[in-house]
């Protein structure tokens, strides 16, 4: 009898685990495009070819310190996140609204990073927050996705490196 009870408990636990796994939505399928939305006048959906069409002064390269086994620095090419937000036209009720805005970049697997409007538009950091489409003169590797985002002036670039970038959302975080 005890063996049967243990099996029933095990089956119940496994059934709950399966039910829980199905309750959570799978990550969105990667599209190779980034959607810019939220508190903007014009939503955008851009792929690599669209980003390459930005004006030359908005397509920049950022050199990162040695990252590979050979000790070579990486050169990333992309469009400033600020340029995408300018094209989408961030909505502001007044000049103080920008102080309350967060920009959230999300990957297809749900990984998210946050920037303040002031970081992107009022500091040097904004010059090196890129939506990246090229590394060392080549398209990004499959592990990084067709589009990624990186904050090139962060001391540690890893925490705000979004592989398989899928969306950028502008959100007012306080009233």
At residue 125, the pLDDT reads 94
At residue 73, the pLDDT reads 84
For residues 7-46, one letter each, b for 16 or more C-beta atoms within 10 angstroms of the residue's C-beta and e for the rest, the string is eeeeeeeeeeeeeeeeeeeeeeebbebbbbebbbeeebeb
At residue 6, the pLDDT reads 41
At residue 77, the pLDDT reads 96
**How many Å apart are CA 103 and CA 72, to the nearest integer?**
31
Chain centroid to Cα 76, Å, comes to 15
Of 101, 84, 99, 102, nearest to 43 by C-alpha is 84
Domains of the chain: 27-172 (3.90.420.10)
Q: Please give the helix or strand (H or E) that residue 101 lies within, else none.
A: strand 101-107
pLDDT along the chain (175 residues), means of 10: 39 34 42 94 97 93 75 89 97 90 97 96 95 95 95 90 97 89
**How many Å apart are CA 121 and CA 1, to the nearest integer?**
69
pTM of the model: 0.79
Supply 61's token pair.
């390269």
Q: Is the CB of residue 126 less than 8 Å from the CB of residue 80?
A: yes
Measured from the Cβ of residue 157, the count of other Cβ atoms closer than 10 Å reads: 18
């Amino acid at each position: 009898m005890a063996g049967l009870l243990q099996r029933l408990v095990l089956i119940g636990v496994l059934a709950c685990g399966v039910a829980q796994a199905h309750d959570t939505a799978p990550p969105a399928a990667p599209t190779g495009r980034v959607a810019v939305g939220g508190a903007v006048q014009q939503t955008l959906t851009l792929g690599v070819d669209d980003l390459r069409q930005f004006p030359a002064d908005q397509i920049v390269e950022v050199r990162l310190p040695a990252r590979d086994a050979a000790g070579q620095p990486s050169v990333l090419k992309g469009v400033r996140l600020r340029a995408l937000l300018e094209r989408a036209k961030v909505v502001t009720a007044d000049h103080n609204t920008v102080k309350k805005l967060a920009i959230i970049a999300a990957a297809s697997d749900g990984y998210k990073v946050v920037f303040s409007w002031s970081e992107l538009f009022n500091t040097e950091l904004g010059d090196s927050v890129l939506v990246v489409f090229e590394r060392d003169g080549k398209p990004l590797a499959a592990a990084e996705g067709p589009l990624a985002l990186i904050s090139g002036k962060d001391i540690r670039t890893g925490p705000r490196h979004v592989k398989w970038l899928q969306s950028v959302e502008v959100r007012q975080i306080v009233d």
